[in-house]
């Protein structure tokens, strides 16, 4: 355990709760009214990256209590153990050393006794040679044509992260190769992709560490049959590569060893986009783009590792979340990137945060005494403003928001970018300021409304305000910045897991449904009936009848 005594830690949680229970503790507007310099004092920078957390109800006393809680929870010791390669994933006996995937070969990061930095660099060099051969035409399809598209077949961390990054970094210029992603085992998904792809110019990556993931292997079999039907069985070896550690299974599928790229068990799936699982990113955007992504993440790693807590962006972002979840009882968190290129950013964070910290068991096996991960959701602005922002502005639940915005755009339409930025700033301001009944009535009367109209409509136009948000502002969304942003949230997750006393690096909750699905599948294929609850048995029977 990294924390001080349980009694000391309970005292810190009690202190935090007492601060949240003070009269007016949720009133952000009062904090601004009493502190003209609040926006400066509650903003933290790393180069061009600014985290503004002033639009929260954290005052000086709450801030000090949060940092006190972090220290009592042993965050600094945990951070040292994490970067020291300790087995922080206690239930699986593993380190969590995804940082080695983006650091230099001589970074000296260890995972247990393994030279994680050296191993990651060696596999990265193999990936770089493969990408260069594809891009320069040394490696071609079986018909002799150059590859023009890459299809990544994976699910979970083998899909969400790479898809989010590749689409973000190639949306503006199209990249070097077109990148496509297949995750859902629903056959409609592959049917739609197959209509858009030319088998002669498509390179297929099968991303599964074990090469046994049910959905991924079903989709890989479909892609294999599609390609073999068009080009012949011999085409499989020329058109497939594997992102896996199971060389025997990949070979049985028809993929040669030199086309199998692996990663170690100290890389969790939701942290794997930096590894061989990110091969589609490098193929789509070019190696220099992929390297810049890694460099950005490594810059955030070094910041998190070396910076005192009070100036540490992942620590601050994590503590803001703890204040909202544990002190104020907010159970959801919205992610609003005001950038269309980040349209899958919230989806990636859903897995990163909820798979990591959606836990109710402490590291010692006991039950947690606090709430843990909130529900994560989001969409890009300004789309979100015309969907769920109604709930965030006027709903009965308070939902904190993270706004993300680049100061510079890459599309050349400065007017459009100013409109985008104006909306981001205005939404955050509206959440803070709200609009009172008196303001609404004055506006309506100034517009000519009579007393009856004012009485009928005014209550519906009141905004309560005092809805918290943070804003992450940066110069431009390039690969380096995206690497920093993703690593920022990765380390935020680790910070919160440490404070909650849970293991952020396992995901046992994913397993039960997968195990049960195997048995149900055998029944749907005509096997003997199993024992189910009444609802499941009835639904399966009705499914069979409708077939």
Each residue of 295-344: pLDDT tens digit?
999 999 999 999 999 999 999 999 999 999 999 999 999 999 999 999 99
User: Is a pLDDT exceeding 60 seen at residue 1?
Assistant: no
Average pLDDT over residues 446-457: 98
80 within domain boundaries: no
The token pair at 539 is 């639904």
CA dihedral over 203, 204, 210, 211, signed as positive or negative: negative
The angle, 0 to 180 degrees and rounded to 10, between the axes of the packed helices 160-170 and 345-357 is 160
User: Is a pLDDT exceeding 70 seen at residue 51?
Assistant: yes
Whether omega before 408 lies within 30 degrees of 0, making that bond cis, reads no
Question: Residue 25: what pLDDT?
Answer: 86
Residues 6+ apart with CB under 8 A from 123: 261, 262, 263, 275, 276
**Cα–Cα distance, 108 to 125 (Å, whole number):** 17
530 within domain boundaries: yes
Give CA torsion, residues 387, 392, 394, 397, to 10 deg.
Answer: 130
288 within domain boundaries: yes
Question: Residue 512: what pLDDT?
Answer: 87
Average pLDDT over residues 253-258: 97
Q: What is the mean pLDDT of the chain?
A: 96
Q: In what order do the strands lie in the sheet with 260-261?
A: 178-182, 149-153, 202-207, 240-243, 260-261
Give the distance, in angstroms, between the CA of residue 423 and the centroid of all CA atoms in the same chain.
24
- Residues 484 and 358 placed together within one structural domain of the fold: yes
What Å distances lie between residue 110 and 117, 291, 315, 434, CA to CA? 7, 21, 23, 50
The token pair at 98 is 């995804």
- Residues 263 and 368 placed together within one structural domain of the fold: no
Give CA torsion, residues 245, 246, 252, 258, to 10 deg.
Answer: 30
pLDDT more than 90, % of the chain: 96
**Cα–Cα distance, 180 to 76 (Å, whole number):** 41
- Residues 56 and 141 placed together within one structural domain of the fold: no
Average pLDDT over residues 511-519: 88
Among 232, 266, 292, identify where a domain stops: 292
- Residues 67 and 111 placed together within one structural domain of the fold: no
Give CA torsion, residues 120, 126, 127, 132, to 10 deg.
Answer: 150
- Residues 64 and 176 placed together within one structural domain of the fold: no
Average pLDDT over residues 60-80: 98
Q: Containing domain of residue 347, as a range?
A: 6-72+307-433+467-506
Average pLDDT over residues 130-144: 98
The token pair at 468 is 């918290």
CA dihedral over 279, 381, 405, 327, signed as positive or negative: negative
**Annotation says 98 is catalytic:** no
pLDDT digits (tens, 9 = 90+) for 220-242: 999 999 999 999 999 999 999 99
**Cα–Cα distance, 447 to 441 (Å, whole number):** 10
pLDDT band at 11 (very low <50, low <70, confident <90, very high): very high
Average pLDDT over residues 465-480: 98
Return the number of other C-beta atoms located less than 10 Å from residue 225's C-beta.
Answer: 11
Instruction: Identify the burial level of 361 via C-beta atoms within 10 angstroms of its C-beta, where 0-12 means exposed, 13-18 middle and 19 or more buried.
Output: middle
User: Is a pLDDT exceeding 80 seen at residue 504?
Assistant: yes
The token pair at 408 is 């510079």
- Residues 367 and 248 placed together within one structural domain of the fold: no
How many separate domains does the chain show?
3
pLDDT digits (tens, 9 = 90+) for 280-300: 999 999 999 999 999 999 999
Please check whether residue 215 is in contact with residue 185, taking contact to mean a CB–CB distance below 8 angstroms.
yes
What Å distances lie between residue 334 and 125, 409, 425, CA to CA? 38, 23, 16
Please check whether residue 285 is in contact with residue 471, taking contact to mean a CB–CB distance below 8 angstroms.
no
Phi first, then psi: what are they for 241, rounded to 5°? -140, 160
171 within domain boundaries: yes
Catalytic residue (one of 233, 411, 429, 514): 514
Determine the straight-line distance between the first and last CA of the chain, rounded to whole angstroms: 54
- Residues 349 and 490 placed together within one structural domain of the fold: yes
Among 261, 292, 323, identify where a domain stops: 292
**Annotation says 72 is catalytic:** no
Among 250, 267, 292, identify where a domain stops: 292
Question: Residue 489: what pLDDT?
Answer: 98
- Residues 21 and 54 placed together within one structural domain of the fold: yes
**Cα–Cα distance, 20 to 547 (Å, whole number):** 56
Alpha helices per DSSP H over 211-312: 214-231, 235-239, 247-253, 279-285, 287-306
**Cα–Cα distance, 433 to 436 (Å, whole number):** 9
**Cα–Cα distance, 19 to 62 (Å, whole number):** 6
String of b and e for 323-349 (b: at least 16 CB within 10 Å)? bbbbbbebebbbbbbbbbbbbbbbbbb
**Annotation says 523 is catalytic:** no
- Residues 121 and 257 placed together within one structural domain of the fold: yes
Catalytic residue (one of 386, 429, 511, 522): 386
Entry field: residues in the chain: 547
**Cα–Cα distance, 351 to 509 (Å, whole number):** 12
- Residues 148 and 14 placed together within one structural domain of the fold: no
Please check whether residue 183 is in contact with residue 302, taking contact to mean a CB–CB distance below 8 angstroms.
no
206 within domain boundaries: yes
**Cα–Cα distance, 428 to 436 (Å, whole number):** 17
User: Is a pLDDT exceeding 90 seen at residue 483?
Assistant: yes
Please check whether residue 243 is in contact with residue 279, taking contact to mean a CB–CB distance below 8 angstroms.
yes
**Cα–Cα distance, 209 to 102 (Å, whole number):** 19
458 within domain boundaries: no
The angle, 0 to 180 degrees and rounded to 10, between the axes of the packed helices 60-72 and 479-500 is 70
Give the distance, in angstroms, between the CA of residue 221 and the centroid of all CA atoms in the same chain.
28
248 within domain boundaries: yes
pLDDT digits (tens, 9 = 90+) for 394-425: 999 999 999 999 999 999 999 999 999 999 99
Return the number of other C-beta atoms located less than 10 Å from residue 400's C-beta.
Answer: 23
Of 76 and 3, more confident: 76
- Scanning the structure block, which residue is given the tokens 């009269």? 23
Instruction: Determine what percent of the chain falls in helix, strand and coil, rounding each to the nearest 5.
Output: 55, 10, 30
Say which CATH number the domain at 471 has. Answer: 3.40.50.10490
State the DSSP H helix or E strand holding residue 131, giving kind and residue range, or none if neither. Answer: helix 116-135
User: Is a pLDDT exceeding 90 seen at residue 2?
Assistant: no
Average pLDDT over residues 353-376: 96
**Cα–Cα distance, 403 to 336 (Å, whole number):** 5
- Residues 271 and 374 placed together within one structural domain of the fold: no
227 within domain boundaries: yes
- Residues 65 and 13 placed together within one structural domain of the fold: yes
User: Is a pLDDT exceeding 80 seen at residue 5?
Assistant: no
Catalytic residue (one of 215, 355, 441, 490): 355
């Amino acid at each position: 355990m990294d924390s001080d005594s349980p009694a000391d830690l309970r005292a810190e949680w009690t202190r935090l709760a007492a601060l949240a229970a003070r009269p007016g503790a949720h009133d952000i507007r009062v904090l601004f009214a009493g502190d003209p310099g609040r926006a400066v004092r509650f903003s933290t920078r790393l180069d061009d990256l600014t985290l503004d957390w002033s639009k929260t109800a954290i005052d000086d006393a709450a801030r000090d209590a949060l940092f006190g809680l972090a220290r009592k929870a042993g965050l600094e010791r945990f951070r040292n153990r994490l970067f020291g390669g300790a087995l922080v994933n206690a239930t699986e006996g593993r380190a969590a050393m995804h940082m080695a995937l983006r650091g230099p070969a001589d970074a000296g990061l260890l995972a247990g006794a393994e030279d994680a930095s050296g191993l990651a660099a060696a596999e990265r060099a193999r990936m770089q040679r493969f990408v260069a051969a594809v891009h320069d035409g040394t490696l071609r399809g079986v018909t002799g044509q150059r590859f023009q598209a890459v299809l990544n077949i994976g699910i979970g961390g083998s899909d969400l992260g790479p898809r989010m990054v590749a689409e973000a970094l190639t949306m503006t210029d199209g990249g070097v190769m077109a990148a496509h992603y297949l995750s859902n085992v629903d056959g409609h998904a592959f049917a739609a992709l197959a209509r858009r792809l030319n088998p002669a110019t498509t390179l297929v990556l099968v991303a599964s560490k074990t090469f046994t993931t049910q959905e991924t292997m079903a989709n890989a079999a479909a892609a294999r049959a599609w390609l073999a039907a068009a080009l012949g069985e011999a085409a499989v070896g020329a058109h497939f590569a594997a992102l896996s550690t199971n060389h025997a299974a990949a070979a049985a599928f028809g993929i040669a060893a030199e086309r199998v790229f692996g990663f170690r068990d100290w890389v969790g799936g939701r942290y794997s986009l930096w590894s061989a699982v990110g091969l589609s990113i490098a193929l789509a955007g070019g190696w220099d783009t992929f390297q810049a992504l890694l460099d950005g993440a490594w810059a955030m790693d070094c910041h998190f590792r070396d910076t005192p807590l009070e100036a540490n962006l992942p620590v601050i972002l994590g503590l803001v979340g703890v204040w909202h979840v544990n002190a104020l009882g907010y159970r959801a968190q919205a992610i609003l990137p005001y950038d269309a290129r980040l349209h899958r950013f919230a989806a990636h964070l859903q897995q990163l945060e909820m798979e990591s910290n959606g836990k109710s068991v402490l590291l010692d096996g006991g039950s947690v005494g606090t709430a843990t991960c909130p529900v994560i959701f989001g969409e890009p602005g300004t789309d979100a403003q015309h969907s769920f922002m109604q709930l965030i502005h006027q709903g009965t639940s308070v939902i904190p928001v993270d706004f993300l915005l680049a100061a510079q755009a890459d599309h050349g339409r400065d007017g459009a970018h100013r409109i985008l930025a104006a909306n981001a700033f205005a939404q955050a301001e509206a959440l803070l300021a709200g609009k009172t009944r008196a303001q609404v009535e004055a506006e309506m009367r100034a517009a000519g409304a009579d007393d009856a109209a004012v009485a009928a409509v005014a209550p519906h136009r009141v905004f309560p305000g005092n809805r918290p948000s943070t804003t992450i502002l940066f110069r431009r969304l390039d690969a380096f910045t995206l690497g920093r942003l993703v690593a920022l949230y990765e380390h935020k997750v680790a910070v919160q897991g440490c404070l909650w006393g849970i293991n952020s690096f396992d995901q046992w909750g994913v397993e039960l449904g997968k195990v049960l699905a195997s048995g149900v599948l055998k029944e749907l294929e005509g096997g003997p009936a199993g024992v189910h609850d009444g609802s499941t048995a009835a639904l399966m029977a009705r499914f069979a009848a409708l077939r």
